[in-house]
Copies of this chain bind each other. A is one copy, B any other.
Amino acid sequence: MSGGFAIPDSGDRAVLLLSGGLDSATCLALAKAKGRAVHALTVSYGQRHAAELAAARALAADYEVEEHRIVSVSLDAIGGSALTGDLPVPKAADPGSGGIPATYVPARNTIFLALALAHAEVAGASEIWCGVNAVDYSGYPDCRPEFLRAFQALAGLATRVGVEGGRAPRLVAPLLEMSKKEIVLAARDLGLDLGRTTSCYDPDESGRACGSCDACLLRARGFREAGLPDPTRYRPGIQIESRPST
């Protein structure tokens, strides 16, 4: 399973895919702790959970990134996902129970990494960081190390360096083999304000979490297993059994 996507010992400029969720925020905190000049890239793709964009903006400001670019992609024109609006967001499913859930967005990570590759070329970045995780995840095909390896191979051919020589940006996925519990603990150790992150796939207008989608369940389980209180703001009346009493 080991994929060679650990953080290199040295590095300077990195494009970082920043969604505003727990994983990408932890990535951001890690990249800054490792001395990277971060060029954050957020993709607005017609997702239901636009609260993500506000969280991404706040995190980019908190961490004083070099620049934060937001690229819009109208994936709702393609559809096929609960996250872009043409399917309901499944609730109270058992994350990791097998099968690919309706929240899967077709080819999303291929599209996101392609945009990051473009941005890395323009910014002259030698690394592309992403919060992809293959342990406590929802079974998405494009979160697996073999997918990242194939994208790394493509990156060596897809841009100027494929013709002119030089090195393609290196994919860095520091959370790839971490459990959600380990991610929560790493974020705490890095001093990340976890209340700034949002994970819910189906928040209300105020950005309050539903407590029952895959992302909420995985997040709550991570906090529970880490023994930390979850600062998530839930909709009124939501009881999260997995939330420790505070």
Give me the interface of A with B, judged by CB distance under 8 Å. Answer: 69-75, 77-80, 100, 104-111, 114-115, 117-119, 121-122, 139, 141-142, 144, 146-147, 150-151, 153-154, 156-164
Contact = CB atoms under 8 A, between A and B. Distances in A.
A77 B71 CA distance: 6
A145 to B, nearest CB: 10
A43 to B, nearest CB: 9
Nearest to A146: B157
Contact of A100 (B114, B139, B160): B160
B122 A79 contact: yes
9 contacts: A104-B160, A106-B160, A107-B121, A110-B114, A110-B158, A114-B114, A141-B163, A147-B162, A150-B154
Contact of A157 (B71, B115, B144): B144
* Interface SS, A side: helix
- How many copies, total? 2
Contact of A154 (B106, B110, B163): B110
A71 B74 contact: yes
B80 A118 contact: yes
Nearest to A142: B158
Contacts of A80: 118, 121-122
